[in-house]
Structure 1
Amino acid sequence: MTTTEFTRTSTIELEIDGMTCASCANRIERKLNKLAGVTATVNYATERASVEFPTELGIDTLLSTVRAAGYGANPPPPPAEDPTRAAGPEDAHGAELRDRFVISAALGLPVLALAMVPAWQFPAWQWFSLALASVVVLVCGWPFHRAAAVNLRHGTTTMDTLVSLGVAVAYLWSVYALVFGDAGALGMRHEFSLLPRTAAGGDVYLEVAVGVTTFLLLGRWLEARSKRRAGAALRALLALGAKNVAVLRDGGELRIPVAALAEGERFVVRPGEKVAADGVVVEGTSAIDRSVLTGESVPEEVGPGAPVVGGTVNAGGRLVVLATRVGADTQLAHMARLVEQAQTGKAKVQRLADRIASVFVPVVVGIAVLTAVGWLLAGRPVEFAMTAAVAVLVIACPCALGLATPTALLVGTGRGASLGILVKGPEVLESTRRVDTILLDKTGTVTTGAMTLVDVVVAGVAGGVDRADLLRLAGAVEDASEHPVGGAIAAGARAEVGELPPVVDFASVDGLGVTGTVDGRLVVVGRPRLLAERGVVLPAGVAAGGAGRTCVVVAVDGVAIGLLAVADAVKPTSAQAVRELRELGLRPMLLTGDNAAVAQAVAAEVGIPADDVVAEVLPGEKVQVVQRLQAGGRVVAMVGDGVNDAPALAAADLGLSMGTGTDVAIEAGDLTLVRGDLRVAVDAIRLARSTLRTIKGNLFWAFAYNVAGLPLAALGLLNPMIAGAAMAFSSVFVVSNSLRLRRFRGLAT
């Protein structure tokens, strides 16, 4: 007998403290992944680790592993805690970096000025510079040296190792020259050079130690601010939820924390208040502003029976809502989880950068040693060799590589969330680049998914019946019907002529139509067969119907007075969306289980050729259509909203699920479109491609920076202070370039 053991796993997010570069993230990731059954991804930009681990292992083991590597780790906050933790303009770490930079700049500027302007070099200026530089290097720059020491104790190296080593060499050499060399003599002067100095002598390099420390602190501070701005969209999303709610209990209103609201309870939403949870309106009418979740600027009218979503704002009257989803089950919470998961993950392009960063520091230290030895063997002074080696250490920062992908993901996914676009993971970005064919489900995606009155034809009969009379009489009879076609006619009539008159003697003829008396007149609304059975003669113009439409004839007192056409109307923005998809290089195709006539009519209306229409397919056959296209070399995206679309969404190379659809379809998709506007699918693909372009641009410049900078430094063509400034601002450039995605504008906004 064979027993198969199943290991239960859990996934948590750990908050990591003390990471200073991409190498730190790689080190923590490697340590965690060495644990049996653990799969971890550490994101330097978000300072979080997403860890899947066997349940029996325990969270304490994960925390101790991270701490043993020399970093801080905190367990996830309790569910009741405010998810917008540390949402101020600047966190404690950023404030500390700011303070260190300000002190370093204030003390370092005189050192730089004295080193650069010989005329200002008064007697004993070098000793004055040493006093100021000592504070800058040993106090302000202490985080670099502390991190380097911690990493060294654990047998590893990071970017801090390069910085600490470079600054320490420049500082200690200067101290040696002042104490044991000629540099300490009163009246000593030296010229400043952008290149390493070529003459031997009693020179000091305090300006290098000070300049590198100050520029790096500035870079770290700006980087921390930029990273915080990059994550602002997620924090804003998390902050949308209401903090308390007025719940109806024991015949009165009781205001409680929103976390205490239970499913099935009724709560009140007054004008200007946020909806506390997902639910259904049971009392009142109002307009709901959904822009915070969908980007849609026009408020939506709601009344009894209408669904509402937590986090939206009541812009009108008082509502009483029945809670159907609360807490972590709400759409807002689901959106936040999707965004956070996407920001924590890594795309394939980032994994290449991570592998390079993991071996980068030891290689750079080796290059620095070879640079110093090479220049000494070439007969150059020790000062020159030392300065060139320091420049190599300082300029070779892997931070830009580590920030290239996560910051772009932070900004891109955050901007998507504000537009109603949720990306499930970073690998989705690469899928959008390759897609060349997009299958569009008809019902609920291209069309509204609901029957709508689309045409009214008035017959030229005696009595002067006009359009308003036709709609008033037909609408009154159909208002008593429960059939979807009747509901569409009644809704269309009410929207055009207002309140409908009462009907008496109402009767429904199964499958054929309805009859009733309105204002003393016998009204029959139904198929031509029903009217023929009642002896009504149908004029040729009235009997005509449109392709893909359900047509009913209206007769009053035995005379046909007109025809009403009902159809699943095409959304007004679908045609524009199809054009935009084609401009993106995609081939739009219509995929539906409806009959061919209806499908062709809808396709013609939105601009899809007849050859690109696949109709009368069952749910399982939709998957076969996807697979057939893939077998033909096409990379397929699928847009759908129903349960019947879920298999095709999962089988497609890229699944885009409409958030107005079923939960099954939403879970099957790679991208969730919160709004029912097909143009959001265009925005999703455009934003994903823009994010991927930004990532690749960041990686290119990060690689190019190191490829160009290292040889220049090794050849003695860079002053270490200039190298430090360039290195610091390379990281700032990468983050700033990513922040441009915040200006992305969608078609549907």
Structure 2
Amino acid sequence: MATQQIPVQGTEQEQRVVELSIQGMTCASCVARVERKLGKLDGVEASVNLPLESAVVRVPASVSDQDLIDTVVATGYGAHVVHPDSAGTGDHDSAPSLLGARLVLAAILSVPVLLISMVPALQFPDWGWVVFALSLPVVTWSAWPFHRAAAINARHLSSTMDTLVSIGVTAAFLFSAWQLFADPAMTRHAGMAGMETSALYFEVATVVVTFLLLGRFLEASAKHRAGDALKSLLDLGAKEAHVLRTVDGERTEVTLPANALIPGDEFVVRPGEKIATDGVVTEGASAVDTALLTGESVPVEVTPGDVVTGATINTSGRLVVRATRVGADTVLSSMGRLVSQAQSGKARIARLADRISAVFVPVVLVLAMLTFVLWLVLTGDLDAAFTASVTVLVIACPCALGLATPTALLTGTGRGAQLGILIRGPQVLEDTRTVDTIVLDKTGTVTTGTMAVDDVVVLSDIFATDLLRLAGAVEAASEHPIAQAIALHAAGNGRLPEAHDFSSAPGGGVRATVGDVVVTAGRTGWLDRNGIRPTGTQAAALRAAEDAGTTAVWVAVDGDVAGFITLSDTVKDGSAAAIGRLRRLGLRPVLLTGDNRAVALQVAATVGIDAADVRAGVTPAGKVDAIRELQAAGATVAMAGDGVNDAAALAQADLGIAMGSGTDVAIEAADLTVMGNSLEQVAQAIELSRRTLGTIKGNLFWAFFYNAVGIPVAALGLLNPMLAGAAMAASSVLVVANSLRLRSFGK
């Protein structure tokens, strides 16, 4: 996602979306600084993500990419624009490996420093100088990332958690070195203890650095795992395609990289191969495994004319596919962009943490100074005052606060992508918490959207099989879905006879000659136009069938009514279970449909929706009105739909949920998209959103609680700086580990 043109409402200026990779951020204060500085550019809005080390920036035409980079660099961080062909392919291994080397050195040297300093039996003559020598590489080279970041921020009159670490570690080391150089003989005697040695804090400086490096290394590893879901999603695509080319009048296969395909290219997909890009089947029939994108395990049968999606797997027959969308226009790429944008955004709850982090470090610096002064004034104990102030600096680092929201969001949206659930942005998570009513479009959402024959009702002396065969013969020439359903059902009983002299009326019916008889099939009005009048008894039978929730089609032979065929839109497998799951989530299901009330009530009864919560005969505009009516009554409404006629209602709802089997218009209008066509995925999507929001809240609670308890305890002198460093590192790792639990959702 390098640059994307988007209109800005109310102005003639256009904005583009630019993704920046940012190097050097370590905490929530860094994030707040970068966002604040970018936001000072005219018309620029930035959302910075700490775990992804990236920023998504909305930029007017008057601001160049270089302006953005210069602003970030001037703030004290590195930056470059992420281009589509390099997104996700950057090499970030060097930084973690260097971090690991610093950690290993710090750990190797800190252990003897700690043991010699704390265990009198291990001390030897002039041991202080040995400890000084062992500590020096740790507080310089190993701790260099903290010192460098602190220096950069100091040049810009700013501070971050690195400032706290750098000051604390440097103060402990320099104070100890000063004491040692002032009295070179203070550790001359082995096993020496007491007041003379209590002023040495080399073990504090080294162990704190080790713990913090360990925490940062574990964070980096955990954040890498948290992003694996998105990386695996983007890696799903096929790497090559067998493209058909005409050479010397013959079609031959040429193997090309998948990214070399252009719309209109035809390519071969053999059993077991991935489909290279989105397209339409032109030859062959097969079953396609769509589980990688939709999360559904049942393969989808495809034949010529059916649409297929790139990265899905051809399981059986040979297919020839004509490419329709390639590169950034494919469904897979769109999913990646939606997930990436969602991970880069911020929910309202995260903004609170950002505002606190912006003032947190300066406040802690003041608290540390006050702690030192008060201890010194009240007790006169320089060592105790120094220890307490350093402990405040070390324990207060706001790492956990900065990681609380983005790591949970990164993991939750990544896991959702693996399950075929796309969350458009972090605000959606909070919206799912407040929703109490879910409006479900019937056709394509609760039902399959495909008509199927239920029954053949004979009203004359003709056999049911003959009636169905004649109806199938005339309907086979029509493209209407109901006609196709009848023809398909009739063809299941054998080859259909040919029909001649075919005529039809849109929405009315069909008429043709089959053999030596004239067959007329359609609605009552179509029969009237052809001079055919059902008797009162016959009409009553058809009305009874329609009142039972079916669609009925008259069939007349040689001008006399022979019977009718009933059809219905079949309920999807799992819809009833999904409705029960939605109820357990505290949602009231409402069925919305343009069909007649009898059909709607039958579907509602099948899936477990109350009759009072059925809205039938609703137009697309009426769907919007129905949602507004519920909202006016105090409900917070989610809407699930899949068609163009659902787009306005999806936009009106407090939370719009699009079925991925639906139209692009519906998906664009929705806040949340499920890539499959199962209603159970809707329930799963709401569960995942709520679980992710719950994880974010849990992370923020523990991050705030840690600082609220840790800082006063440290200021009272009840905590050793080494334990403070361990606690600070542990809090960050705890937050990331808690977020990683979302990876097991749905397993």
| TM-score in terms of structure 2 length | 0.91
Answering whether residue 176 of structure 2 is matched by residue 171 of structure 1, we say: no
Residue pairs, 1:523-672, within 5 angstroms: 533=532, 545-546=545-546, 547-552=548-553, 564-672=565-673
Q: Which moved more, 1:272-281 or 1:727-736?
A: 272-281
Letter in 2 for 1:80: D
- The whole-number CA distance in structure 2 between the counterparts of 1:178 and 1:200 is 10
Pair 1:183–1:661, CA change in 2 (3 A): farther
The equivalent residue for 1:282 is: 282
Asked if the contact 1:266/1:322 (under 8 Å) is kept, the reply is yes
**What SS does the aligned partner of 2:545 have?**
coil
Q: Which moved more, 1:499-508 or 1:157-166?
A: 499-508
Residue pairs, 1:302-381, within 5 angstroms: 302-381=302-381
Asked if the contact 2:519/2:558 (under 8 Å) is kept, the reply is yes
Answering whether residue 301 of structure 2 is matched by residue 301 of structure 1, we say: yes
Q: CA deviation at 1:477?
A: 5.2
Answering whether residue 205 of structure 2 is matched by residue 209 of structure 1, we say: yes
The partner residue of 1:185 within 184, 187, 201 is: 187
Q: CA deviation at 1:521?
A: 9.3
Residue pairs, 1:219-238, within 5 angstroms: 219-238=215-234
Answering whether residue 223 of structure 2 is matched by residue 252 of structure 1, we say: no
Residue pairs, 1:479-498, within 5 angstroms: 479-494=476-491, 497=493
Where does structure 1 lack aligned partners over 5 or more consecutive residues?
192-196
Q: CA deviation at 1:476?
A: 5.0
Asked if the contact 1:147/1:160 (under 8 Å) is kept, the reply is yes
**What SS does the aligned partner of 1:585 have?**
coil
Post-superposition Cα deviations, 1:157-210, rounded to whole Å, max 9, x if no partner, equal 11001001111111111111221136643225466xxxxx9x575531111111
The equivalent residue for 1:121 is: 123
Pair 1:514–1:709, CA change in 2 (3 A): same
Pair 1:650–1:527, CA change in 2 (3 A): closer
Q: CA deviation at 1:617?
A: 2.4
**What SS does the aligned partner of 1:98 have?**
helix
Pair 1:458–1:207, CA change in 2 (3 A): farther
- The whole-number CA distance in structure 1 between the counterparts of 2:336 and 2:705 is 35
Q: Which moved more, 1:25-34 or 1:528-537?
A: 528-537
Pair 1:521–1:76, CA change in 2 (3 A): same
The partner residue of 1:102 within 101, 104, 109 is: 104
- The whole-number CA distance in structure 1 between the counterparts of 2:438 and 2:192 is 68
Letter in 1 for 2:109: L
The partner residue of 1:132 within 128, 131, 134 is: 134
Residue pairs, 1:709-748, within 5 angstroms: 709-745=710-746
- The whole-number CA distance in structure 1 between the counterparts of 2:236 and 2:497 is 45
The partner residue of 1:242 within 228, 238, 242 is: 238
Q: Which moved more, 1:353-362 or 1:608-617?
A: 608-617
Letter in 1 for 2:85: A
**What SS does the aligned partner of 1:448 have?**
strand
Q: CA deviation at 1:484?
A: 2.4
Letter in 2 for 1:719: N
The equivalent residue for 2:272 is: 272
Post-superposition Cα deviations, 1:611-660, rounded to whole Å, max 9, x if no partner, equal 21122222222222222222221111111112221111111111111121
Answering whether residue 259 of structure 2 is matched by residue 262 of structure 1, we say: no
**What SS does the aligned partner of 1:57 have?**
coil
- The whole-number CA distance in structure 1 between the counterparts of 2:395 and 2:190 is 30
Residue pairs, 1:143-162, within 5 angstroms: 143-162=145-164
The equivalent residue for 1:691 is: 692
Q: Which moved more, 1:114-123 or 1:147-156?
A: 114-123
| Equivalent pairs, count | 727
- The whole-number CA distance in structure 1 between the counterparts of 2:371 and 2:390 is 9
Asked if the contact 1:200/1:381 (under 8 Å) is kept, the reply is no
Pair 1:492–1:128, CA change in 2 (3 A): farther
Pair 1:183–1:720, CA change in 2 (3 A): farther
The equivalent residue for 1:194 is: none
Post-superposition Cα deviations, 1:359-387, rounded to whole Å, max 9, x if no partner, equal 11111111111111111112242111111
- The whole-number CA distance in structure 1 between the counterparts of 2:192 and 2:679 is 69
Q: CA deviation at 1:537?
A: 12
Pair 1:230–1:5, CA change in 2 (3 A): closer
- The whole-number CA distance in structure 2 between the counterparts of 1:593 and 1:203 is 82
The partner residue of 1:8 within 10, 14, 30 is: 14
Post-superposition Cα deviations, 1:296-340, rounded to whole Å, max 9, x if no partner, equal 112111110110011112222221111111111111111111101
Q: CA deviation at 1:588?
A: 0.9
**What SS does the aligned partner of 1:52 have?**
strand
Asked if the contact 1:535/1:558 (under 8 Å) is kept, the reply is no
Asked if the contact 1:457/1:542 (under 8 Å) is kept, the reply is no
Asked if the contact 1:80/1:259 (under 8 Å) is kept, the reply is no
Asked if the contact 2:457/2:464 (under 8 Å) is kept, the reply is no
Pair 1:665–1:541, CA change in 2 (3 A): closer
Q: CA deviation at 1:6?
A: 3.7
The equivalent residue for 1:431 is: 431
Pair 1:221–1:509, CA change in 2 (3 A): closer
Letter in 1 for 2:332: L
- The whole-number CA distance in structure 2 between the counterparts of 1:723 and 1:447 is 58
- The whole-number CA distance in structure 1 between the counterparts of 2:304 and 2:272 is 19
- The whole-number CA distance in structure 1 between the counterparts of 2:624 and 2:436 is 17
Pair 1:454–1:535, CA change in 2 (3 A): closer
Pair 1:265–1:29, CA change in 2 (3 A): same
Asked if the contact 2:576/2:608 (under 8 Å) is kept, the reply is yes
Asked if the contact 2:335/2:422 (under 8 Å) is kept, the reply is yes
Post-superposition Cα deviations, 1:342-368, rounded to whole Å, max 9, x if no partner, equal 000011111110111111111111111
| TM-score in terms of structure 1 length | 0.91
**What SS does the aligned partner of 2:668 have?**
helix
Q: CA deviation at 1:662?
A: 1.6
Post-superposition Cα deviations, 1:14-65, rounded to whole Å, max 9, x if no partner, equal 0001111111111111111111221111111110011112222211111111
Q: CA deviation at 1:113?
A: 1.9
The equivalent residue for 2:81 is: 75
The partner residue of 1:85 within 75, 86, 89 is: 89
Letter in 2 for 1:60: Q
Pair 1:539–1:435, CA change in 2 (3 A): closer
**What SS does the aligned partner of 1:629 have?**
helix
Asked if the contact 2:522/2:553 (under 8 Å) is kept, the reply is yes
**What SS does the aligned partner of 1:253 have?**
strand
The equivalent residue for 1:391 is: 391
- The whole-number CA distance in structure 2 between the counterparts of 1:190 and 1:430 is 60
- The whole-number CA distance in structure 2 between the counterparts of 1:414 and 1:167 is 37
- The whole-number CA distance in structure 2 between the counterparts of 1:190 and 1:587 is 74
Q: CA deviation at 1:470?
A: 6.8
**What SS does the aligned partner of 1:213 have?**
helix
Pair 1:594–1:42, CA change in 2 (3 A): same
**What SS does the aligned partner of 1:545 have?**
helix
Answering whether residue 494 of structure 2 is matched by residue 503 of structure 1, we say: no
Asked if the contact 1:177/1:183 (under 8 Å) is kept, the reply is no
